Chains A and B, each alone.
Chain A
Amino acid sequence: MGIQFGSTGRAQRGFAVGIDLGTTNSLVAWLGEDGRPHVVDGAHGPLVPSVIAFDARGELRAVGVPADERVQLDPLHTIYSVKRLMGRSADEVAGELDLLPYVVHREEGSAAVRIEVGARRWTPPELSAFILRELKARASAALGQDVTQAVVTVPAYFNDAQRQATKDAGRLAGLDVLRIVNEPTAAALAYGLDRRPDGRIAVYDFGGGTFDISILHMHEGMCEVLATAGDTRLGGDDLDRAMVGAVFAQLQAAGIDLSGHPEALQRLRKAAIACKWALSAAQTATLRLELPEFGRPAVEIAWTRADFEALIGPIVARTLVPCRQALKDAGLRADQLDDVVLVGGSTRVPLVRAKVAELFGRAPHADIDPDLVVALGAAVQADILTSGRRDLLLLDVTPLSLGIETAGGGIAKLIHRNSAVPASQTEEFTTSVDLQTGVVVHVVQGERELAHDCRSLARLLLPIAPMPAGLPRVAVTFLIDANGILHVTARDLRTGKELALEVKPTYGLREDEMVRMLDDAFDHAEDDVARRLFADAAVDADNVVRATERAMQGPSAAQLDPDELDEIVGRVASVKAALATRQAEPVKAAVAALNHATFRLAEVEMARALDVAAHDQHVLGDLAQAIAPDPASVKPKHDRPHA
């Protein structure tokens, strides 16, 4: 057996986390001993920008905030919005590539894409794995134990290939992906944890790159999805892109052509995003763009919220189509809903809120942080899986119909969209010519009538013993599991034997590719560990050196004798020298020596601090007495005057 789930019980509890792997930002959360989900914070807050920076040779430089800062400096080697490419083909993403400055290739002999960075070509799951590895390391550090299991969220409207790609990314990052959970469903779980609502809710999830709507029935701890719909190519990115396009055209009209200046375009993208956020809070904002390439001062463009809303109106309107579809599929009218929950950063845009309120006829619920709620829900789901708690349960649906191609390119639907999962369907196959030795079954996913308009998932090759036409009987069972991922088995009904089924996934990674990537990932993992150890030691060293230098400039230093001072200065220098080795161990040793040398200094500092505190308290006491000599006359400052 490939996976061992390890021993069960509470000891395992801290190991399974919930991960929101987003288009723009990712984050990780876990369920605390208090029974509540918590996000794991980093130096820059809980959100890790889903950005991976390489250098020109293709070596990994940074993930997250430091990588995000490099987007404008080195756009060709800094990868963002990988989620848009997960499990998709070169043809499918062709229309979105103008959004991405890096080089995307079609892979020979496969429909999947590769991203070229320096001398290397990466698959989207490999790049996503860098982000997952960062989150894994962050969670392991915060929890003080190695995190090896995770529940990872995906947009509800993700198809089988996109879900499989996400699972592959987890495996490459050294995570056992316990479950793939739909983002709006995870949000509903977090929402339901507190409120224990009984009724029907809609979750409107407008993220960085995807849009989902789910209608759920919440009932005694069960979150039962009734219907889901969405658009995996519609997100906050599109709002940014509309603004970038408008400014680009405006500049072009003024004789400034940004095409061919990827750095300037990236600065414009950043400026547009900042302006978008400013316009969510204020009625006007200024988009400021530095243009050193053109040897001219920065350009400032004034935007009003009305301008912005006119620009993005059509994009926001596109989200309302799936909303109506989902209501229809759930068999509900908008007024039969008990609440509407907003998820995803893009729901901070006032126009989005207004349109949602208009469609559903009620103000949406907005007091949960739309950036965090999905990861929090994923952490709750991780707890459900590993702790054995029975008070909560998610029941989800498959977003897309599953079918097989029929002659003439049509499709026969086997499992309809919005069927509760797990769902299964068995079909019988036979041969149409004598002595035929195989049947090919083309499995597709989608709602369109023709196979080539749907997403091709795989081709199954059923081996068949040669017999006269029509005699063989092969039963093929399709099962969509709780993750929304398809499993297929085949059986020869005449012999009762299980058939070895050859599966050619259209977009997925082949097993040999997976093995190679896992080897690579393992090599990288050692690098990663070393890098993280050094980074942690370096932060520690920096803190100690700063504190020492501050104390040395203060009054405490005067109380030390010159030998002690010399030693401290020497130890500080050796810490700085150790940092240059970029090895954790020398840094730790040097810091320990510095700590030892500053023992006396620290004591003096501490005594002085206590002294100051005592003095402050004394002063405060005096002050209090001076203001309020008689407790009876004390009254609140803002009290209304007596009549």
Chain B
Amino acid sequence: MAIAHDEALRPCVVGPWVLGGADRLDWRVAPPPGTQPPDAFAVLGLPRRLLLDEDRVGVAARGLMRELHPDRFHRDGPEAVARAQWHSSLVNDAVRTLRGLERRAALVVGFADDVGRAHKPPPALLERVFDWNEQLDEGDAASRGVVAAEVATACAAARLRLEAGARQWDVAQLLREQAGSAAAGVTVTDADAVLLSVLGELRYLDNLLERLAGGAD
């Protein structure tokens, strides 16, 4: 039974399976920790493209879930169920990672990893963000409205740049794929640099939008 499912998940790194014994071992039954999370595009069998038709994410995930969900493995015993818990969690995690252009862009440039941490936003942006936050803290309703309008404009501009960067990245990726896997190393292309700077900016703008919506104070 395992062959078909393992094939579906071939790109995944699935380490040695550690299994709990008795019922109470819930806390210890788990996927192999420390294994690299597999690539979300590969898990869902989707091409590595930023401008991806999002319906395909749902269709691919539902198809995989039909095969991989733990409920499908109850008759094969607890070991098979435990493995299915891990496999299907990869599918669910992949869906979360690929929903929304911003998240896909963050994935391909490694924004959540060292790349993102090493990225220093330009001082001008930081000062602008700081000033907006300060105005929200100290200003009246009118200045709040001004900030809201300015942030909305900045957001719209950033998203246009994100889309342009994504298109550029997709082209670069296509060329990389055609050149073969040798060229598919982690070189920071122009497109990566654009995406990185837009993502850095959007993170601040999103926080401000949340504040404006009345979320954080």
Tell me if chains A and B make direct contact, with any CB pair below 8 A: yes
Q: A residues engaging B (CB < 8 A)?
A: 1-3, 5, 8, 164, 167, 171, 178-179, 219, 222, 224, 381, 384-386, 388, 390, 393-395, 419-426, 458, 475-477, 479-482, 485-491, 493, 496, 498, 501, 503, 505, 511, 514
CB pair B34–A3 under 8 Å, yes or no, is: no
Q: Would A426 and B70 be within 8 Å (CB), given that A3-B23, A419-B96 are in contact?
A: no
CB pair A489–B18 under 8 Å, yes or no, is: yes
**How far in angstroms is the closest Cβ of chain B from A623?**
60
- Kindly identify which residue among A1, A390, A489 contacts B72, using a CB–CB cutoff of 8 Å: A390
Does B104 lie at the interface of the complex (its beta carbon under 8 Å from any beta carbon of A)?
no
**How far in angstroms is the closest Cβ of chain A from B37?**
7
Chain A, residue nearest B75 (CB): A8
Name 21 A/B residue pairs within 8 A (Cβ), A-sorted. A2-B25, A5-B77, A164-B26, A171-B23, A222-B66, A384-B71, A395-B65, A421-B92, A423-B92, A423-B93, A458-B27, A482-B85, A482-B88, A485-B26, A486-B26, A487-B20, A487-B30, A487-B85, A489-B28, A489-B32, A489-B33
**How far in angstroms is the closest Cβ of chain B from A223?**
11
**B residues near A385, Cβ cutoff 8 Å:** 71, 74-75
- Kindly identify which residue among A178, A390, A393, A493 contacts B74, using a CB–CB cutoff of 8 Å: A178
Interface of B is mostly: helix
Give chain B interface residues in 67-85, CB to chain A under 8 Å: 69-72, 74-78, 85
Q: Would A393 and B30 be within 8 Å (CB), given that A178-B74, A479-B86 are in contact?
A: no
Give Cα distance in the complex from A423 to B18, angstroms: 17
**How far in angstroms is the closest Cβ of chain A from B66?**
6
Q: Would A394 and B71 be within 8 Å (CB), given that A2-B22, A458-B27, A503-B27 are in contact?
A: yes
Does B117 lie at the interface of the complex (its beta carbon under 8 Å from any beta carbon of A)?
no
Does B24 lie at the interface of the complex (its beta carbon under 8 Å from any beta carbon of A)?
yes
Does B89 lie at the interface of the complex (its beta carbon under 8 Å from any beta carbon of A)?
yes
**A residues near B88, Cβ cutoff 8 Å:** 422, 482
**A residues near B92, Cβ cutoff 8 Å:** 419-423
CB pair B93–A488 under 8 Å, yes or no, is: no
**B residues near A458, Cβ cutoff 8 Å:** 27
Bitwise interface map of B from 4 to 46 toward A, beta carbon under 8 Å scored 1, else 0: 0000000000000011111111111111111001000000000
CB pair B22–A424 under 8 Å, yes or no, is: no
Count chain B residues whose beta carbon lies closer than 8 angstroms to a beta carbon of A.
39
**How far in angstroms is the closest Cβ of chain A from B15?**
9
Known A422-B86, A486-B27, A514-B24; 4 more pairs at CB < 8 Å: A393-B65, A423-B89, A481-B29, A493-B34
Give Cα distance in the complex from A562 to B168, angstroms: 107
Q: Would A426 and B74 be within 8 Å (CB), given that A224-B62, A486-B27 are in contact?
A: no
Give Cα distance in the complex from A171 to B33, angstroms: 29
- Kindly identify which residue among B24, B31, B71, B75 contacts A424, using a CB–CB cutoff of 8 Å: B31
**How far in angstroms is the closest Cβ of chain A from B117?**
13
| B18, B24, B27, most chain A CB atoms within 10 A | B27
Chain B, residue nearest A222 (CB): B62
Give Cα distance in the complex from A212 to B32, angstroms: 34
**B residues near A422, Cβ cutoff 8 Å:** 70, 85-86, 88-89, 92
CB pair B21–A1 under 8 Å, yes or no, is: yes
**How far in angstroms is the closest Cβ of chain B from A481?**
5
**A residues near B22, Cβ cutoff 8 Å:** 2-3
Chain B, residue nearest A181 (CB): B71
CB pair B89–A491 under 8 Å, yes or no, is: no
**B residues near A219, Cβ cutoff 8 Å:** 62
Q: Would A2 and B21 be within 8 Å (CB), given that A179-B71, A385-B71, A482-B70 are in contact?
A: yes
Chain B, residue nearest A510 (CB): B24
Give Cα distance in the complex from A643 to B139, angstroms: 85
CB pair B27–A488 under 8 Å, yes or no, is: yes
Does B95 lie at the interface of the complex (its beta carbon under 8 Å from any beta carbon of A)?
yes
Give Cα distance in the complex from A195 to B156, angstroms: 44
Which 10 residue pairs of A and B lie closest in terms of their CB atoms, listed nearest first? A2-B22, A489-B30, A477-B33, A422-B89, A475-B34, A8-B75, A424-B89, A385-B74, A491-B33, A491-B34
Give Cα distance in the complex from A419 to B88, angstroms: 12
